[in-house]
Structure 1
Amino acid sequence: MATSSEDVLLLVNHVRYKKNDGTLYVMDERIAWIMEGRDTFAVSHKYVDIKMQKISPEGKAKVQLQVVLHDGSSSTFQFVNPLGVQQQLKDRDDVKELLQQLLPKFKRKVDKELEEKNKLLSENPSLLQLYKELVMTQIITPEEFWKNHAAQYMQKQQQADQQRVGVSGAFLADVKPQADGCNGLKYNLNKDIIESIFKTYPAVKKKHLEYVPHKMTEAEFWTRFFQSHYFHRDRSYAGKDVFAECAKHDEQDLKTAAKAVESNPLVDLSQFSDTSVGEGYGDTPDLPSTSSSFSSSHAMIKRFNHHSMMVLRACEEGDKDQSESTPNGLLSSKVAVNGDSHHPPIGKKAKLMEKLQYEDLEPLESTSMVKINYSHIERYLHGPTLSGFQPPHPCDSESDERAGHLAYMLEELQMWRPDIQNVLTHSVALDALRDLSPGGTLMTASHSETSTQLLTEDLKKEMVQLYLSLSELLRHFWACFPATTPQLREKVTRMKETLERFEMAKVIPFQEKVRRSHTVPGDVSAHLHSMLKAAYYKFASWQQKTAIAPKIR
């Protein structure tokens, strides 16, 4: 329960957490939840650790409040007051408003870079273990660790962050209005939807910069946007409409894009009605209709085309390295076809061939091969043969000699008897095998090679981590050679000092721990010491050469 020094600012009953009912406490420095029939808090979060709070959207069956922490975890509380939904909403809003007053007082500004590093360590266990081995033991500094030993992980994270989220083609359709009970509609806009509107319709962004907050508020601007004819599908440009200029700009933009598109003799983009009769077969061109239904369909089709064009343009502008976008938002491949004077316009015949021919059904192109001329084809077909070869006759002398040798060998095998008098007995043989096996009296010199098999699981894991950490340090040490620049000379000196600290802080304590266990004969850390000695010897020889070099000059 809460201590006497804590003041309970708000107490809300009938709050469910993970399918258990209980009571929610909002106190001076923390928010806590206790299960019914218990006397200790099951959930307790200090305001310093809370990053934000979220509430369930209106109209949802469950009335919930979620508390999100800085480490990424969260706790969701559901309000289940038996008096009804209105009382549940009131309880939730009371907690929300009180938290809105308390959280800014305890809000902790967490560095964005620190959050990225924590996320990176949590997603890479090997990097986290390396951090514990090198940084937490004060062998190297955190700055040096992130600069040298985690650079590749940071680059991967930056590349992942640089991936830009595209614009959904139905982002406006997802904005579903809700009735507010007063013959009005309420639109819920978030930051992503507003950003998508700005990316797709730069004219709206320009108007936003022009009017907000100088002439109207943010809410008033978006209210006028959804009330305007610019948002609705049937646009009739009113003089007082703020967005009338945007609609006219879109109309001009669509005409410019239609002129710049690649001409296709099989498709007439200016026609708005379907026809099944081709050109030159008695079909008359469509006459423009003056009916209201046609004008409405005409405007709707234009708007769909313009919306699709603007979505593609927003995606192309974010990927200028791969394909350059034109002012009207068309693909660069189409512009290259139109702008290149060396390629004539594609004619109707070429378009027909493109529709009729498929690469998958085309015959494979024959590759040019070297033609071989044979003087004797039968040699190539039957292979080499010995000229004048005759099979041996059964009465031939050579065959008789082979048959005699075979008969002699068979006779010797039948008469052979093993001589097992001068061999060891089974007990002596087992003793000799035991002495010559790993750990035997005659195999004392080979303990260092097989002693790792006698280590416990904890010592094995610790030894593996030592190898990983030492290999990482040695990789940077040996990469400094040849030390031709002042930066490399400074780094190799620093890495040698780091290796010495690692040996004193990690290798030697591990060696003493294994020695105290009395379960492993020999020195299992001999190879670790040999790698360190090789690095020390290299550093000493490099220092000697650098000291002699100025004297020779």
Structure 2
Amino acid sequence: MAGGQVEKRVKYKSSVKDPGTPGFLRIREGMLLFVPNDPKSDSKLKVLTQNIKSQKNTKEGSNKPPWLNLTNKLGKSHIFEFENYPDMHACRDFITKALAKCEEEPNKSAVSTSSEQLSIKELELRFKLLRENSELQRLHKQFVESKVLTEDEFWATRKKLLGKDSIRKSKQQVGLKSMMVSGIKPSTDGRTNRVTFNLTPEIIFQIFAEKPAVRQAFINYVPSKMTEKDFWTKYFRAEYLYSTKNTAVAAAEAAEDEELAVFLKPDEILARETRQKIRRVDPTLDMEADQGDDYTHLMDHGIQRDGTMDVVEPQNDQFKRSLLQDLNRHAAVVLEGRSIDVESEDTRIVAEALTRVKQVSKADGETTKDANLERLERMSRLAGMEDLQAPQNFPLAPLSIKDPRDYFESQQGNVLNVPRGAKGLKRNVHEAYGLLKESILEIRATGLSDPLIRPEVSFEVFSSLTRTISTAKNIIGKNPRESFLDRLPKSTKDEVLHHWTSIQELLRHFWSSYPITTTYLHTKVGKLKDAMSNTYSKLEVSFEILHLSDRISNWE
């Protein structure tokens, strides 16, 4: 086995039933090469390491020959039969390390790309922290420059440190303005009947959030059936018809224009969402019973859109919209806030992003449907009404006391018997004391036949404690708060503290890598373990030197 490659005698099998072609298998970091013993054989094989997808091997002790099965990314298998299991294990481990290095390359490029995407302010902040904190600079040089950790991994555990001085986006969710969509007023030129609406990205977002049907219509119609300008022209035409309160004209234009009818009819998407919310309401809340308290259907009560009462034909009732509906929907959207964080001038991107968010929330609601049903059933059982339940007559066991004096006299007897028990307990204590006294007298007379600690061990411990106490008294007797580190020389103390900080840094990255699900994490954990082993070795050397110096001082 050379330092950069592995070479073993194997038999190459193209399939399980193939008897195999004897030859040599040479494995390098970037390539796998099989050379048959027969120069005329056509079984030569060359496979790049990066094309290997997985590897399987037979277990030792399974009464099967040592096989190593390599599968490439195209699904083809290459089977190698080794002479013994140690040779197979050596090749398997070498291929594992080679695959790990192949995976490190895209990771390194990704890290470099992410580093390039850092803003100038973030880079300046990192350099500032390294200049001001010498310990941080030392850790960065120790782990990042030695490639134990990447740049992003090193700074990932210091997000709070970066966040103190960096200008970050506020975590508070951006809200919407309280102005209603119906309050948007157009501008006129004063000479013609032409009006112009000034649509901003915020207004468009609010329209899409309050009216899902309009958002879906935009995705369906723009730009396949109409331009964005024509779409908004039809939308504000529908809003104008609502403001005129003439449902007959709205119904007539909706019958002639199919696209315009989408804006005039009730929002079916919003109605479905409302029905789903109603299904999740507490069943003890009877919403239908509350309709009896509604007086808006009575004469001279109720406010329709724009503060007027209208008499609407039944066939045109779907083109009527009350001010209360607009207020409730607008309030719900304002309370919800911005459900997406998309800053784009493209209206279609905003519409599709909102649709995806609603689909995700709908899927989450469907997954929790069974949980909601179970919760509602449990609430129904707990919130039972007593006046509607059957009477609960629990069986009772009547007391049968023929003479009440027997009951009270028995209780009195228990109280009177307490001192007797106390006397008996006292007598037992005296007996135990007498037995203990006899045992002590016997030990004094005859001694212990089997001592607890051997005399030589006791003498050694006593001598060691005497030396330690006398040394500590001379060194730190004047300062009771002085720690063990204060006894060390300044250079040794600084070195120990740095090793301790290094171990803490490595342990944070070590435990954050679990569970190990990728080869990259496996390689990272191996590097961290090696770095910790080196640090512990340095600590042991430092303490050995320290103990040696203490012994020399004691001899002096």
TM-score w.r.t. the length of structure 1 is: 0.35
Quick check: which one's helix share is greater?
A: 2
TM-score w.r.t. the length of structure 2 is: 0.35
